[in-house]
A and B are shown apart, each in its own frame.
Chain A
Amino acid sequence: MEILLALVSGTLYATGIYLMLKRRLAQLIVGLSMLANASNLLIFTSAGLTRERAPILTGAEAVDGMGAYADPVPQSLVLTAIVIGFGVLAFSLVLAHRVHLSAGTDDVEAITTGET
């Protein structure tokens, strides 16, 4: 399972970077959100996956045994990162829309060279 998720996460990174290199506004935004999701998945995977256990200590399990309960920390990290990522994504979508309106093109090359 770890290997599968590692591959998915790696593919997301690669796709994200590829899309950002396309130099188009829309692709850039999608690429950025893929990058954010890739790192979320990576946090989740790298901290170790635990099947069919709640992230709660009920007292019955041995506390020190690995896999007795799911680690709640990566879950809360990912949750925080998703919320932050959502807000930032919303902002960058509006910004991209505005830039598109003012530049009249979605070609990143034209936007960045036109500015200097």
Chain B
Amino acid sequence: MPLVLPIVVPFATAILLKALPYRPTLLRTIAFTGSLGILASAIAILVRVQTDGIQVLQIAGWPAPFGITLVADPFSAMLVVMVGILATAVTAQSFAGVDPRREALGYHPLVHVLLMGVSGAFLTGDIFNLYVWFEVMLIASFVLMVLHRTREQLHAAYVYVTINLIASAVLLTAIGLLYGQAGTLNLADLARVWPERSTPLLDNALSVLFLTAFGIKAALFPLFFWLPASYPAPPPAVGALFAGLLTKVGVYAMIRLFSLVFRNPDAMVYTILLVLSIATMLVGLAGAIAQRNLRRVLSFNLVGHIGFTTVGLALWTPLALAASIFYLLHHMLVITTLFLVSGLFLRQRRTGNLDELGGLWRSNPAVAAIIIIPIFSLAGTPPLSGFLAKLAIVIAAFQARSFVLVAVSLLIGLLTLLSMARVWQQVVWRPAPAPAGQPLRRVDVAPVAGLAALIVGMTIAAGPVFNVSLQAAELLLHPASYVEAVLGGN
């Protein structure tokens, strides 16, 4: 039963928030409580998965291949916990103030609808249901992006909406063809019947179609151009939510579907995926170096680091996949924190332009000390979680004898360090070009501080987290127990 909670809690919260009259403090408190509810139920699921194995819920009691199934294995359980953590941070951020017009127009309910879509996508065991959750998540993100209706947001949303609708059409096409050949939509059932019902031609064609659809959502090269054009436009809290969750759903869906259905690691699509992942890293970081606006720097870094989260699938070894999962978790935390940090500067100086920022060390030494953690964790400086995640990728690439990937990973580590060190130097060390506008209050900094503490926590608990990632990777590469848990051994 707890499996539906990460979906039902945000749904109920969204309805409640929409029904209530506009009283900011009340709405923010309920939104925050709802997020805590998601986090609590997600942790309960993770604990149960760890103690009792894969959790399965057949909705309305329909037996497995016929009804919709919800499944939580270690991979999805960990990601749902991340949804809870990021939701808590982003809704806590709203206590520092949301634009009143935004709030009155339904900012809080939309955030919870988005969270419902993301949790649903992580938990579903049915490919068409996955498409539906994608759409739930997308429509909420469309509206969140344009709530202000500024010129910049409208134009960014236009790019974002168009590319996502194309991705949805491609995904729907691929699902239709998959159903036409396999006659089932249940992922576990697909894993069972696909090898005997497919042909090599169909296998190649469909896997590339799915790669295109999820590649657009995950912002893989060469399908990433929409991301830096759209993510910097909405307010930082919304950008933080998008950056932390939306592209990761694309990565998750790709890993889930490919590890269950397209299980031939010698297939063409894995070579394509490896090349695209490497190209994504290089192009993303090259873009990040060239940008002068903090949120654009972060958006390009986001793109570049997506490559790290997909190489594990391309290499198809337990260690590589575990490294990618660990990277995914680390990256969700860090990039969300950094987008929230960009919100601090926006509040303090009304700009995100690196040339106009500076002097944080003088004006707010405590804040500077806090943001050293996400900045240098993304850069991959030892001993923070980013270093451990990159180290795991490099070791896995060595073991898989993919030396190009080793070289590129190290180069990307260097470029990220360069890009982040420049941010640090400009924002913190340099004397301020102008006196700060508004002072930062505790309530502004609290979510960032909380997330930074979690990054430190993830660094200290890297051993256990990596062990769970390894366990998740083993289950993904050997899906027999997933299939048996869902279908009950028939």
| Residues in chain A within 8 A of chain B (CB atoms) | 20, 28, 32, 35-36, 38-40, 42-48, 73-74, 77, 80-81, 84, 87-88, 91-92, 95-96, 98-99, 102-103, 111-112, 114-116
Contacts and interface: CB of A to CB of B under 8 A. Distances in A.
Interface in B56-97: none
Contacts of B229: 112, 115-116
Contact of A99 (B143, B154, B168, B179): B154
A49 to B, nearest CB: 11
A115 B155 contact: yes
Interface string B16-44: 00000000000000000000000000000
A73 B62 CA distance: 14
Given A32-B165, A43-B179, A91-B142, A84 B132 contact: yes
Given A35-B169, A95-B157, 4 more contacts: A38-B173, A43-B172, A81-B172, A114-B155
B155 A99 contact: yes
Please report whether the interface of chain A is mostly helix, strand, loop or mixed according to DSSP. Answer: helix
A96 B142 CA distance: 13
Given A84-B132, A115-B152, A35 B166 contact: yes
Nearest to B129: A80
Question: Lowest 5 CB-CB distances: which A-B pairs, in order?
Answer: A46-B180, A43-B176, A35-B169, A39-B172, A115-B155
B180 A47 contact: yes
Given A99-B155, A112-B229, A115-B229, A48 B180 contact: yes
Contacts of A43: 172, 175-176, 179-180
Contacts of A114: 155
B159 interface: yes
Interface in B391-428: none
A36 B169 contact: yes
B149 interface: yes
Interface in B161-218: 161-162, 165-166, 168-169, 172-173, 175-177, 179-181, 183, 185
A56 B176 CA distance: 21
Contacts, number: 99
B162 A36 contact: no
Given A42-B177, A111-B155, A92 B169 contact: no
B156 interface: yes
B182 to A, nearest CB: 10
A83 B154 CA distance: 24
A25 B172 CA distance: 23
A42 B183 CA distance: 14
A20 to B, nearest CB: 8
23 contacts: A32-B166, A36-B168, A38-B173, A40-B172, A42-B173, A42-B176, A43-B176, A44-B176, A47-B179, A47-B180, A47-B183, A74-B180, A80-B128, A80-B132, A81-B131, A84-B132, A84-B135, A98-B149, A99-B155, A102-B155, A103-B155, A111-B155, A115-B156
Contact of A88 (B132, B135, B177, B185): B135
Given A39-B169, A115-B152, A88 B139 contact: yes
B151 interface: yes
A98 B351 CA distance: 26
B185 A73 contact: yes
Contacts of B173: 38-39, 42
Given A39-B173, A74-B179, A112 B161 contact: no
Contacts of B166: 20, 32, 35
A94 to B, nearest CB: 9
A46 B177 contact: yes
A80 B127 CA distance: 13
A67 to B, nearest CB: 14
B7 interface: no
B179 A111 contact: no
Contacts of A102: 151, 154-155
Contacts of B155: 99, 102-103, 111-112, 114-115
B5 interface: no
A9 B165 CA distance: 18
